[in-house]
C-alpha cells in the first residue's frame, strides 16, 4: 500500500495492480518513461519537488529539478510550455485523485496503479496530444530540433519523444 503525504495531497492511499512499466492498456504506448522525462527536463523542473518519496529514488538521480521556483532553463528546450495548475483546475482537466494532473497520473500508472475509468480518460487525452507530433512532422525538416520547440517541449511533457 502506498501512502501519499505531500504538500498537495495527504492521506491518499493506493496499491499496485500491475508490474512497474508494464501491463499497459494496448492503446497506450508512451515513448518515454517518467524517469527519462525528468532527466530530459520537464515542467520547468518544479513539478515533483515535494512528492519524490512516492516514486523510485533513481528517477531523481539525474532529474532536472528546481526546488525554489519553476525555471524554464530546467526544461530541455528552455521554453515555457505549460499552463498553470490553476488553469488546469478551472478547465476540469485535473481528475481526482491525481491532483497534479496528467504527469502524476502517468507516474502512478507506470508504477502499477490502475483505476480503469480514470485510466481510460487519461489515455484518450494522451492519444489526442499526438496531433502535435503530426504538426511538427508536417512543418519541420526531420533533423531540425529547433523547429517548433514549444510543441516539442509539450510533447516531451506528454511522454512523446520530441526528437522522433
Q: Is position 83 within any domain? A: yes
Q: Is position 95 within any domain? A: yes
Q: Is position 14 within any domain? A: yes
Q: Is position 40 within any domain? A: yes
| pTM: predicted TM-score of the whole model, two decimal places | 0.95
| Strands, E assignment, 1-157 | 2-5, 10-14
Task: For residue range 92-124, list pLDDT tens digits in order.
Answer: 889 999 999 999 999 999 999 999 999 999 999
Q: Is position 109 within any domain? A: yes
pLDDT band at 48 (very low <50, low <70, confident <90, very high): confident
Q: Is position 6 within any domain? A: yes
pLDDT at 83 over 90: no
Region 32-45: mean pLDDT is: 97
User: How many domains, the chain?
Assistant: 1
CA distance 155 to 31: 10
64 lies in which domain range? 2-129
Amino acid at each position: 500500500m502506498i501512502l501519499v503525504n505531500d504538500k498537495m495531497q495527504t492521506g491518499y492511499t493506493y496499491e499496485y495492480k500491475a508490474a512497474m512499466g508494464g501491463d499497459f492498456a494496448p492503446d497506450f504506448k508512451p515513448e518515454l518513461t517518467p524517469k527519462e522525462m525528468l532527466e530530459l527536463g520537464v515542467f520547468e523542473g518544479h513539478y515533483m519537488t515535494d512528492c519524490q518519496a512516492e516514486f523510485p529514488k533513481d528517477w531523481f538521480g539525474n532529474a532536472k529539478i528546481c526546488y525554489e521556483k519553476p525555471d524554464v532553463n530546467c526544461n530541455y528546450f528552455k521554453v515555457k510550455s505549460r499552463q498553470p495548475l490553476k488553469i488546469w483546475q478551472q478547465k476540469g482537466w485535473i481528475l481526482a485523485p491525481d491532483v497534479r494532473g496528467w504527469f502524476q497520473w502517468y507516474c502512478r500508472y507506470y508504477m502499477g496503479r490502475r483505476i480503469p475509468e480514470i485510466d481510460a480518460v487519461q489515455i484518450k487525452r494522451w492519444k489526442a496530444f499526438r496531433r502535435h507530433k503530426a504538426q511538427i512532422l508536417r512543418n519541420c525538416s526531420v533533423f531540425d530540433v529547433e523547429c517548433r520547440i514549444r510543441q516539442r517541449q509539450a510533447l516531451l511533457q506528454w511522454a512523446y519523444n520530441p526528437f522522433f
